[in-house]
Amino acid sequence: MSELTLVDLGLTSDQTSVLPAEHAHMLAATLDVVFEPTLALPLLWHWAYFNPVVGTAGLGPDGHPRRENPLLVDFPRRMWVGGEVRTEAPLRTGVASVRRTRLLNHARKQGSTGELLVVTLEHTVVQGGRTAVVERQDVIYRPAGGVTPPTGPAVVPAPPDGWRETVLPTTALLFRFSAVTFNSHRIHYDRDYATGVEGYPGLVVHGPLTAMLLAASASRHLGKPLGSFSYRASSPFFVDQPVRIDGHLAASPDGETATMTATRLDGVVGMTATARTSC
């Protein structure tokens, strides 16, 4: 297997930002929540920062930065499929910060739709000389094709002793989230490309957006900020199709815990997640 580097993936080992508060306000407006700049950024909100800045001429036909490594030629589709994030110190806006990234491993694996390239990254956000956020990120690269669209509504009972919320991802929400995360992948805003080239039934909801919606739901029901969040994506969600969030609270030695699923209108679970408060 050819060697893979951060540069091949459009990343650098270190990225800096002062985490402007106005950018956090834009993300808050996108998610229809209120951001209080005197408090720490909610867990996962660092995803709105440290994103690679590539000139438009450097983008490939899918809107992602061009990938030149021969290893990636057979795997043109990129999907953010899971990971784990934990906070070790408050992350605040208006403070010089560094995100340090390492490529932990990459391997070809056989999936249900064919061969995949699985990439695992580690991100560490340091602020004021102190580690604030540690993240493991799992990304897969896959061949073209292999999309199964939702087929119709399914009736699923509400979880016992839990909660249920429904979110409708609109075109405006997807566009705003793409903008605030500097994500130019065309499956999120170009319907003709998403349906005609990549074979989806409509615009695709960002995996990080689904994860943020789950994290926000968990924080509301736990009644306090999150200390850690782990998630796994298994199927895509699509614009203008409801996402049902089911959650359940429990106590654990590591703090209060919320376990959640995000389900499509056809009953397919698209993402599972576990959130914990700080001890």
Per-residue pLDDT of 3-57, as tens digits, reads: 888 887 888 899 999 999 999 999 999 999 999 999 999 999 999 999 988 899 9
Which candidate, 24, 64, 82, 25, places its Cα nearest to that of 48?
A: 24
Tell me what pLDDT residue 144 has.
Answer: 75
Q: Does 116 score more than 90 pLDDT? A: no
- Taking the C-alpha atoms of residue 3 and residue 154, their distance in angstroms, rounded to an integer, is 44
Residues 76/144, Cβ–Cβ less than 8 Å: yes
**What pLDDT is stored for residue 138 in this prediction?**
95
Report the pLDDT value the prediction gives residue 1, as an integer from 0 to 100.
Answer: 46
Least confident of 72-81, 130-139, 177-186, 245-254: 72-81
The predicted structure's pLDDT at residue 159: 62
Residue 84 forms beta bridges with which residues? 136, 230
Residue bearing the bigger pLDDT, 153 or 13: 13
pLDDT greater at residue 188 or residue 69: 188
Average pLDDT, the chain: 90
Split at pLDDT 50, 70, 90, the class of 70 is confident
Q: Strand ranges (DSSP E) for the chain?
A: 14-17, 77-87, 97-111, 114-127, 130-142, 162-167, 226-233, 243-252, 255-263, 269-277
The whole-angstrom separation of Cα 177 and Cα 211 is 12
Does the structure show a pLDDT above 80 at 194? yes
Average pLDDT over residues 230-250: 95
State the burial class of residue 136 (Cβ atoms within 10 Å of its Cβ: 0-12, 13-18, 19+): middle
Q: Is the pLDDT score of 172 beyond 80?
A: yes
Q: Where are the domains of the chain?
A: 7-277
pTM: 0.91
Cα separation, 201 vs 143, whole angstroms: 18
At residue 203, does pLDDT exceed 80?
A: yes
> Residue 115 corresponds to which tokens in the numbers above?
């061969």
Under the phi-then-psi rule, with left for phi > 0, alpha for psi from -120 to 50, and beta for the rest, what region is 180?
Answer: alpha
Task: Of 7, 141, 6, give the one whose Cα is nearest residue 74.
Answer: 141
Looking at 53-57, 127-131, 228-232, which range is the least confident one? 53-57
Specify the pLDDT at position 153.
60
Q: Looking at the structure, give the CATH architecture of the domain made up of residues 7-277.
A: Roll (3.10)
- pLDDT of 228 > 50? The answer is yes
Predicted confidence band of residue 117 (pLDDT cuts 50, 70, 90): confident
